Chains A and B, each alone.
Chain A
Amino acid sequence: MIGWLLRRLAQIIPTLLILSVMIFGLQQLMPGDPALILAGEERGDPVVLAQIRAELLLDRPIAEQYFVWVSKVVQGDFGFSWRIRMPVSQLILEKLPVTFQLATMAFVIAIVIGVPLGILSAVRRDTPTDWLANAVALAGISTPNFWLGIMMILFFSVNLGWLPPSGYVPLTEDWRASLATTIMPAFVLGSGIAGVLMRHTRAAMMTAMAQDYVRTARAKGMAEGVVVLKHAFRNALIPVVTLGAIEFGRLLAGAVLTEQIFTIPGFGKLIVDAVFNRDYPVVQGVVLATALIFVVLSLVADLLYMAINPRLRQA
């Protein structure tokens, strides 16, 4: 078990190395010269441009730029934002809790809606309950986030005046206001994931319910609720956990459109702004942090598999 964990952690290093090359390489393909953007009014002055380029090492070979960046990152130094004049690590630490709160709320909403609906529709397959659940899931999947977001703002903020249309209040400051500002974007993000989760839960539950051990549980006299929720659901969890980990990772990577609509200052907004400003250190830092989140989540998912499936525990 310890050996497995160490091996699994060691695998993270090459993954991140490959990712760092990709992040750096792809960024070079972006059109536009950062020096020109940073020079602003003085963009016509070659001396200023040369000075900026020298300062930011833009005049060095790409390989050299890459190694300078990576060697700093390894020491925990993500660099300095060219535009906002703040350490990238500080920016990330500032935005991460916002995105984490939004992602967690969206994820909880998705699970609370998607999983029970999936179980219900598998147990009541081919009945009106199943059809209705599927229709709800399909609506969740196929409604564009930006549209749902705008409609919710129109209804709950403009018409009813119940919730603030935009902005963000940190949890630590005022938790009620914080929830009020994040509940709509969280629902927008969660509803789509709920649909996907419902479909996966339904499929996994139908497979599990057809297994011999479910018949055994019934032969033991177990109540139907125990048969479904204990014997079948436990075995249906693996595909659900896999999907959950991926979706949670995507939520943490930031929801660009939704954050834009509700003006939530999270990861999504940070990276979009950084890309438009050719703020390379921020783009690199945020993407790398996102990648790290994904890697950690997949490790968590693997640990969960082992908790769920005893067959995986010995390996």
Chain B
Amino acid sequence: MTPALAVTGLTVSFATDRGVFRAVDGLSFSVAPGETLAIVGESGCGKSVSSLAIMGLLEGNARVGGDLRLAGQDLLAMTPEARRKLRGADMAMIFQEPMTSLNPAFCAGNQIAEVLALHRGLSRHAAYEEAIRALDQVRIPDARRRAAQYPHQLSGGMRQRVMIAMALACRPKLLIADEPTTALDVTVQAQILELLDELKRETGTAIVLITHDLGVVADHAEQVVVMYAGRAVETAPGEAIFTHPEHPYTIGLLGAAPRLDGPRGRLASIEGTVPDPMHRPPGCGFAPRCPFAVAECTVTDPALTMLAPGHAAACLLAPLEAA
């Protein structure tokens, strides 16, 4: 089956006053229809930039390389106009800040209707009626009344539901959810993630879920990509990432290190910060922060290596249990 999204060797670099800096360096993954792939990492690791690159929403100073295919269509070979027509129709995105992502000047129903009028050519009235159905689909009670309300009259969770309704209104093949629950209360977070799961099952949309929270990944993702400093350092099936984490960075994120050499094995937090992308250290990018690093780690840059079916890590010491 053709994957809903296939990303191969994605690179994103920005021309800045200090020189060119590479925010994403050779990222590859693919998502099947009806599946969720989570991209996990700290802020600044390139996960949001990757998603904006897939959507084609980066500013003019960004250069995107590699190969991006949406249901087989080559996204980077298209004209900007052709790509624009895919946005909102075949690929959609929801953002971290539901508070500011909706336009304060228009009511919820009209903001959803706008997508339907644009991509499905519906009349104003038909699009609005369809928007009400879309709100109903994201489990908003009293959808007709809510549709007439403005963003400031809706709670954060409600606004994110409106964003989801808007994103899914045209039944896209791909939904990118960039930290969709980070700005919400814990109880609401669970509801939103549950809703995304249900809608995925109902519509067959593939979801790329971007998050810094591994807890979110556990229950909602079939596949996980752990990113560090612009690269994928580990890719694994959703469960394996918890049962057999292989990259020290993943282990650090999980907050539990395997006992390698006695009692000093526990990582409470990851010391240090992400390396300056303009001055990437030679060897492994994580080596300066890695509690397991050996001399070779500062010299050799490890490639992503398959360790088990569907499970790969970019670490010289992997698989760790064997070390």
Contact = CB atoms under 8 A, between A and B. Distances in A.
Interface of A: 211-213, 215-223, 231, 234-235, 308-311
Contacts of A215: 57, 95, 101
B118 A222 contact: yes
Contacts of B85: 221
A220 B166 contact: yes
B92 interface: yes
B93 A219 contact: yes
B25 interface: no
A309 B118 contact: no
B165 to A, nearest CB: 12
B86 interface: yes
A220 B87 contact: yes
A212 B88 contact: no
A247 B31 CA distance: 57
A219 B87 contact: yes
A236 to B, nearest CB: 10
B320 interface: no
A218 B103 contact: no
Contacts of A223: 84
A54 to B, nearest CB: 62
B266 to A, nearest CB: 39
Contact of B105 (A212, A216, A310): A310
Interface string B132-143: 000000000000
A212 B97 contact: yes
B119 A221 contact: yes
Interface in B92-114: 92-93, 95, 97, 100-107, 114
Given A219-B55, A220-B114, A221-B87, A211 B100 contact: yes
B150 A218 contact: no
A96 to B, nearest CB: 35
23 contacts: A212-B95, A212-B97, A213-B102, A215-B57, A216-B102, A216-B103, A216-B166, A217-B103, A219-B55, A219-B92, A220-B92, A220-B166, A221-B87, A221-B88, A221-B115, A221-B119, A222-B118, A223-B84, A231-B103, A234-B103, A234-B105, A309-B105, A311-B150
B152 interface: yes
Most buried by B among A216, A218, A308: A216
Going nearest first, the 10 A-B pairs with the smallest beta carbon separation are A221-B88, A221-B87, A220-B88, A212-B100, A310-B150, A213-B103, A234-B105, A219-B93, A212-B101, A216-B101
B104 A311 contact: yes
Contacts of A222: 88, 114, 118
B54 to A, nearest CB: 11
A220 B100 contact: no
Interface of B: 55, 57, 84-89, 92-93, 95, 97, 100-107, 114-115, 118-119, 150, 152, 163, 166-167
A212 B119 CA distance: 21
Nearest to A313: B150
Contacts of B92: 219-220
A221 B95 contact: no
A213 B100 CA distance: 6
A311 to B, nearest CB: 5
Given A216-B163, A219-B88, A310-B152, A235 B118 contact: no
A219 B114 CA distance: 12
Contacts of A219: 55, 57, 87-88, 92-93, 95, 167
Contacts of B103: 213, 216-217, 231, 234-235
A212 B178 CA distance: 13
Contact of A309 (B84, B97, B104, B115): B104
A214 B105 CA distance: 12
A222 B57 CA distance: 12
Contacts of A213: 100-104
Nearest to A238: B105
Contact of B86 (A221, A231, A234): A221
A211 B95 CA distance: 12
Contacts of B105: 234-235, 308-310
B84 A221 contact: yes
B166 to A, nearest CB: 7
Contacts of A211: 100
A83 to B, nearest CB: 52
B104 A218 contact: no
Contact of B115 (A220, A231, A234, A235): A220
B253 to A, nearest CB: 27
Nearest to A218: B57
A128 to B, nearest CB: 16
Contacts of A216: 95, 101-103, 163, 166
A223 to B, nearest CB: 7
Contacts of B152: 310-311
Contacts of A221: 84-89, 115, 118-119
B64 to A, nearest CB: 16
Nearest to B114: A220
Given A211-B100, A221-B118, A311-B150, 10 more contacts: A212-B101, A217-B103, A219-B57, A219-B93, A220-B92, A221-B89, A221-B119, A234-B103, A234-B105, A234-B106
A81 B173 CA distance: 78
